[in-house]
């Protein structure tokens, strides 16, 4: 089990029920530190902090909607040690855009965090998609989608070589001999790639994991290939149990082609459970949520604009979904929107019904939802679920203290952490 924080270290549910503490929480670690402690108590494997380097301005060609509704993000990396200080076992994953982070900087930063967290950090690889984000890093526009992933594969190769630039046993700390590090076991990498160059070696000691856990949201063919080659855990938002089953089988084939075993990659599917004391109460809550989502057409269109790079304010919402084939955005999500628009469905219908945090619908009491999760996973394969719900204190308690104990009674989630490091615990279950 994991939790996907889609706005990273940002604002959740502003001006909505159960988010009244946002003025006190914004930009401060308290909510997220409390969340980390709760999820560790619940037996979660990790928290994953998404990130972005842009104030979204595709919708309406303006930042107005984003800023008015609180779409802001703080850099998640400084939050990692603070979450680690409140916990002892749960993994903490922070996002890095491979297109913008120099490989040496990322390798050194996450090696350092591996020490600071005592072996519990992970790195989530994204290539980013908005042109505005690329412009914040000095580019005229963003790189074409598949080329971004070609660059990311080389980036990851170099980062891996930097993490391995110290041999096992290089650290001696032999006071009698006066030798701290055996210099013959530390090597430059002299990497010369198409996109990246680095002399190496790292000037940090290898971390407890040596290689922090690598996470990736592999949706498009290029993304799946990157994940199969390098990721330890993968986030998927494919829709429906048949698509989940196909995804697991496809990733298994890709992993084998890269000389890895399917068990080396833990695949978690995004969900947003709606819980209630009874099934009826949960269905009523779901209905209220759907009505609120449908009524907020502007918000739905703004979200679609961000992930696709297309300004949906320009289109008639009651006309059929426009052609999205020219998008340079998140290809798997764009393809999902296009599929949802089949049969002449209107833009309004697609925007009102499709959200990107639900591989399957989970609605009911904790017992009912746990049974739904078990049934879906037994059919589709995969390894678990990534909660994509907005982390208000109410939602955190519902999942950590309501759903998780039921899953544990069914033998579906861990009841402890047998190892010290994130990687060992992740791969052990």
Q: Going from the N-terminus, what domains does the chain have, and what CATH number goes with each? A: 2-163+194-275+358-428 (3.20.20.30), 279-353 (no CATH)
Distance of CA 279 to the CA centre of its chain: 29
DSSP string of 267-328, one letter each residue = EEEEE--EE-SSHHHHHHHHHHHHHHHHH-HHHHHHHHHHHHS--GGGS-TTSBPPP-TT--
> What is the chain's pLDDT, residue by residue, as a tens digit (429 residues)?
999 999 999 999 888 888 778 888 999 999 999 999 999 999 999 999 999 999 999 999 999 999 999 999 999 999 999 999 999 999 999 999 999 999 999 999 999 999 999 999 999 999 988 888 999 999 999 999 899 999 999 999 999 999 999 999 999 999 999 999 999 999 999 999 999 999 999 999 999 999 999 999 878 899 999 999 999 999 999 999 999 999 999 999 999 999 999 999 999 999 999 999 999 999 999 999 888 888 888 888 998 888 888 899 999 989 988 888 777 666 667 777 777 777 788 988 888 776 666 899 999 999 999 999 999 999 999 899 999 999 999 999 999 999 999 999 999 999 999 999 999 999 998
The bridge status of strand 91-97 relative to strand 274-275 is: unpaired
What's the rounded Cα separation, in Å, for the pair 110 and 68?
34
- Residue-level pLDDT at 351: 83
Measured torsion, CA atoms of residues 140, 145, 150, 152, in degrees rounded to the nearest 10: 70
The token duo for 42 is: 């619940």
- Residue-level pLDDT at 333: 74
Determine if the peptide bond prior to 201 is cis (ω within 30°). Answer: yes
The bridge status of strand 213-216 relative to strand 233-236 is: parallel
- Residue-level pLDDT at 329: 62
What's the rounded Cα separation, in Å, for the pair 132 and 96?
17
What is the longest distance spanned by two Cα atoms in the chain?
A: 79
- Residue-level pLDDT at 324: 83
End-to-end CA distance of the chain: 10
Predicted TM-score (pTM) of this structure: 0.92
Provide the 3-class DSSP secondary structure of residue 59: helix
What's the rounded Cα separation, in Å, for the pair 237 and 250?
14
Provide the 3-class DSSP secondary structure of residue 121: strand
- Residue-level pLDDT at 284: 97
- Residue-level pLDDT at 356: 64
Distances from the Cα of 239 to the Cα of 95, 136, 331, 355, angstroms: 24, 33, 14, 10
Question: Which long-range contacts (C-beta less than 8 Å, at least 24 apart) are formed by 192-196?
Answer: 193/154, 193/157, 193/158, 194/154, 195/150, 195/151, 195/154, 195/155, 196/102, 196/103, 196/151, 196/154, 196/155, 196/158
Residue 220 phi/psi, 5-degree rounding, is: -75, 165
């Amino acid at each position: 089990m994991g939790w996907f924080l889609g706005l990273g270290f940002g604002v959740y549910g502003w001006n909505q029920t159960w988010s009244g503490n946002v003025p006190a929480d914004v930009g401060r670690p308290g909510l997220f530190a409390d969340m980390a402690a709760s999820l560790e108590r619940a037996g979660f494997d990790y928290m994953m902090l998404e990130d972005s380097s842009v104030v979204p301005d595709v919708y309406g060609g303006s930042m107005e909607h984003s800023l008015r509704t609180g779409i802001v993000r703080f850099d998640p990396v400084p939050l990692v040690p603070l979450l680690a200080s409140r916990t002892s076992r749960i993994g903490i994953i922070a996002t890095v855009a491979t297109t913008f982070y120099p490989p040496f900087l990322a390798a050194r930063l996450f090696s350092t965090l591996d020490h600071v967290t005592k072996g519990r950090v992970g790195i989530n690889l994204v290539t980013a998609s908005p042109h505005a984000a690329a412009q914040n890093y000095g580019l005229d526009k963003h790189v074409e989608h598949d080329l971004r992933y070609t660059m990311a594969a080389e980036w990851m190769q170099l980062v891996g070589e930097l993490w391995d630039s110290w041999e096992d046993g290089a650290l001696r700390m032999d006071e009698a001999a006066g030798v701290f590090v055996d210099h013959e076991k530390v090597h430059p990498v002299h990497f010369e790639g198409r996109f990246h160059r680095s002399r190496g070696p790292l000037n940090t000691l290898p971390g407890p994991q040596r290689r922090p856990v690598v996470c990736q949201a592999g949706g498009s063919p290029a993304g799946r290939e990157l994940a199969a080659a390098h990721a330890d855990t993968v986030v998927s938002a494919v829709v429906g149990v048949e698509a989940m089953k196909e995804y697991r089988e496809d990733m298994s084939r890709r992993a084998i082609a890269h000389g890895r075993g399917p068990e080396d990659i833990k695949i978690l599917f995004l969900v947003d459970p709606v819980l209630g004391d009874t099934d009826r109460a949960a269905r009523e809550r779901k209905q209220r949520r759907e009505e609120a989502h449908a009524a907020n057409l502007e918000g739905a269109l703004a979200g679609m604009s961000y992930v696709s790079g297309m300004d949906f304010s320009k289109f008639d919402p009651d006309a059929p979904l426009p052609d999205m084939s020219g998008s340079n955005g998140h290809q798997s999500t764009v393809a999902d929107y296009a599929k949802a628009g089949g049969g002449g469905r209107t833009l309004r219908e697609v925007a009102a019904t499709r959200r990107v945090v639900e591989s399957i619908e989970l609605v009911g009491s904790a017992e009912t939802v746990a049974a739904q999760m078990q049934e879906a996973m037994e059919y589709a394969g995969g390894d678990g679920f990534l909660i994509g719900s907005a982390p208000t204190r109410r939602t955190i308690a519902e999942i950590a203290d309501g759903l998780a104990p039921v899953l544990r009674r069914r033998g579906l989630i861990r009841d402890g952490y047998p190892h010290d490091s994130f990687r060992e615990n992740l791969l052990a279950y």
